[in-house]
Chains A and B, each alone.
Chain A
Amino acid sequence: MALQHTSSSAGGLIEPTARAQDGAPAPARAARRLPVQRDWPAWLIVAIQVGVLVGVIALWQVAADQDWISAFFWSRPSAIYATLKTFFTEGDAWTDIWFTFRSTILGFLIGTTAGSLLGLSFWWSRNYAAIVQPYVICFESLPKLALAPLIVLVFGIGLTSKIAVATALTIVVSTLTTFAGVKAIDPDGERLFYSLGATRLQVFRKLVIPACLPWIISVLRINIGLALTGAVVGEFIASQHGLGRAILYAGQTYDIALVWVAVLVLSTLSVVMYVAVGLLERLLRKGVRS
């Protein structure tokens, strides 16, 4: 509608009285076109993306070689590449990756499952939900990472404490999101079930769980990132293995190239897990419908 007005004869909408008073025709309105953005072809976008990456790395290398930046603090791409090779051939790369991966996945699974069950449990009793809810919200607002030192003290420096930190980060998000799903259930849907003579268990299984599944699934990608953060922070505090420990150790010994290598590997691990959970999410969404 708005487009038609601008392109049709100027002054078409002006009230007749206004025109009659002036006598003179209204000044012509500037013809304006709808701003249009043209999409570049996909290959061009990719080419530019690669170009930017290569450019930044090249600039970094040159800047370090020419002493524009301190190679001691920033390291240089060639050194990082050499360290990367050593890290995988002679170093603990696979041990560290496996350690961080395990604690992340276990924390993710435990936190997401327990949180979803907790959120669903609130459907059963409004009174119970009312009593527990303030505690959940308190725990949500609490910076869980601040508890990490305590968790490591309690659970030791092994894998368990990393799983616990990852669980602490993920459980609350799942709980609150699932509970939001429970609250979003149409009360008329429940009335329909009860009018058909359903038991509470039937309503729970056939209405509440399927209705909440999309909510539970929507948290998965957030939670995998949170679980990785939890695992790495746990390793920062005290650990014998893991990519987080590798970063901390390298930083403390001024091995900046190794810091970069560990960060790079960690990012790769993160992307791989994120993509995997994304695929899982799509699979689950399809499954939910049938």
Chain B
Amino acid sequence: MASPSKLRIDDVSMTFATPGGPFRALDHVTMEIPAGRFVSLIGPSGCGKSTIFNIAAGLQEPTAGRVLIDGIDATGTIGRVGYMLQKDLLLPWRTLVDNIILGMEIQGVPLRQARETALPLLRRYGLAGFERAYPSALSGGMRQRAALLRTLLFDTDVILLDEPFGALDAQTKLQMQEWLLALWSDFGKTVIFVTHDVEEAIFLSDEVHVMGTRPGRIVETLDVALPRPRLRACTTTPAFTALKERCLELLRLDQAAVGQAA
């Protein structure tokens, strides 16, 4: 915690006007994320996870509060963080390599140079032989890999991953988690990861923020003090199980509170 914070979500609140009155999507959320950390957000649907991401990426202005990157106010500015949405959003008319360089291309990197940067990465990270393929020819797992590489190649220190593996089958999901950890240790990015899957959150992260609904807020932050590099076997250790129990309990409590309110 001694390292300076890379990304700071500073007392952010977000209220949407709805026909049924104002809806508080986020209520005084503060997060401090040091450089190089892997942090997960977990919580039930409607707890504002995606709203946090939209605000951090500058796609929405918060009702109150600020987003600080390296201590500089970045509220409402786009292009500061890499953002991978739930869908892979690969452009069907572009080849894989041309999809992956999209971020660089938009930032004005010459095409040839961008492709030269992208090609070795494609090969190293499991997409060899598909450089010139169109997205329609790829499996779900490969499409997600491509989308993630596109986010990495955009070359920002912070990347936001919004349920990237949510739509994958269980087997592919496990492979992708290990692949992501390898990538993370290679690139040294600061990662914020949204998921519904408690085990996924703990396995990947240094820190898990458990969120609650109505209003969306952070209920508790759990430190994951498991050693790295992590192997799949660590998911059966008592420490892991205890963290998982605690997470599930927090989520259950929130659901119970919602049930009472309704």
Shortest CB distance B89–A (Å):
5
The answer to whether A195 and B91 touch across the interface, beta carbons within 8 angstroms, is no
A108 CA to B7 CA in the complex, in Å? 55
The answer to whether B93 and A289 touch across the interface, beta carbons within 8 angstroms, is yes
Could you tell me how many residues of chain A have their Cβ less than 8 Å away from some Cβ of chain B?
19
Pick the contact of B93: A186, A191, A210 (CB < 8 A).
A210
Pick the contact of B85: A188, A202, A288, A289 (CB < 8 A).
A188
The answer to whether B89 and A195 touch across the interface, beta carbons within 8 angstroms, is no
The answer to whether A195 and B93 touch across the interface, beta carbons within 8 angstroms, is no
The answer to whether A192 and B89 touch across the interface, beta carbons within 8 angstroms, is yes
Q: Mark B92-119, 1 if CB is under 8 A from A, else 0.
A: 1101000000110111000000000000
The answer to whether A195 and B59 touch across the interface, beta carbons within 8 angstroms, is yes
Residues of B within 8 A of A206 (CB): 91, 102, 105-106
A191 CA to B79 CA in the complex, in Å? 11
Do A197 and B79 form a contact, CB below 8 Å, given A191-B59, A289-B134?
yes
The answer to whether A186 and B78 touch across the interface, beta carbons within 8 angstroms, is no
A290 CA to B132 CA in the complex, in Å? 10
The answer to whether A186 and B89 touch across the interface, beta carbons within 8 angstroms, is yes
Q: Mark B32-62, 1 if CB is under 8 A from A, else 0.
A: 0000000000000000000000100111000
Most chain B beta carbons < 10 A, residue from A186, A195, A288, A289? A195
Could you tell me how many residues of chain B have their Cβ less than 8 Å away from some Cβ of chain A?
24
A289 CA to B99 CA in the complex, in Å? 12
The answer to whether A288 and B93 touch across the interface, beta carbons within 8 angstroms, is yes
Residues of A within 8 A of B165 (CB): none
The answer to whether B106 and A195 touch across the interface, beta carbons within 8 angstroms, is no
Shortest CB distance B85–A (Å):
5
Q: Say if the beta carbon of B154 comes within 8 Å of chain A.
A: yes
The answer to whether B83 and A207 touch across the interface, beta carbons within 8 angstroms, is no
Q: Mark B50-80, 1 if CB is under 8 A from A, else 0.
A: 0000100111000000000000000000111
Shortest CB distance A77–B (Å):
51
The answer to whether A188 and B87 touch across the interface, beta carbons within 8 angstroms, is yes
The answer to whether A197 and B107 touch across the interface, beta carbons within 8 angstroms, is yes
The answer to whether A194 and B59 touch across the interface, beta carbons within 8 angstroms, is yes
Pick the contact of B103: A188, A189, A196 (CB < 8 A).
A196
Residues of B within 8 A of A274 (CB): none
Do A195 and B134 form a contact, CB below 8 Å, given A202-B106, A289-B93?
no
Shortest CB distance A201–B (Å):
11
Residues of B within 8 A of A194 (CB): 59, 78
Residues of B within 8 A of A210 (CB): 91, 93
Chain A: CB-nearest residue to B88: A192
The answer to whether A196 and B85 touch across the interface, beta carbons within 8 angstroms, is no
Q: Mark A190-232, 1 if CB is under 8 A from B, else 0.
A: 0111111110001000110010010000000000000000000
Shortest CB distance A34–B (Å):
32
Shortest CB distance B122–A (Å):
18
Chain B: CB-nearest residue to A194: B78
A210 CA to B95 CA in the complex, in Å? 13
The answer to whether A195 and B87 touch across the interface, beta carbons within 8 angstroms, is no
Residues of B within 8 A of A191 (CB): 54, 59, 83, 85
Residues of B within 8 A of A207 (CB): 91
Query: Can you report 15 A-B residue pairs in the complex whose CB atoms are below 8 A from each other?
Result: A186-B87, A188-B85, A188-B89, A189-B89, A192-B85, A193-B102, A194-B59, A195-B79, A195-B81, A197-B78, A197-B106, A207-B91, A210-B93, A288-B93, A289-B92
Chain A residues engaging chain B, CB cutoff 8 angstroms: 186, 188-189, 191-198, 202, 206-207, 210, 213, 288-290
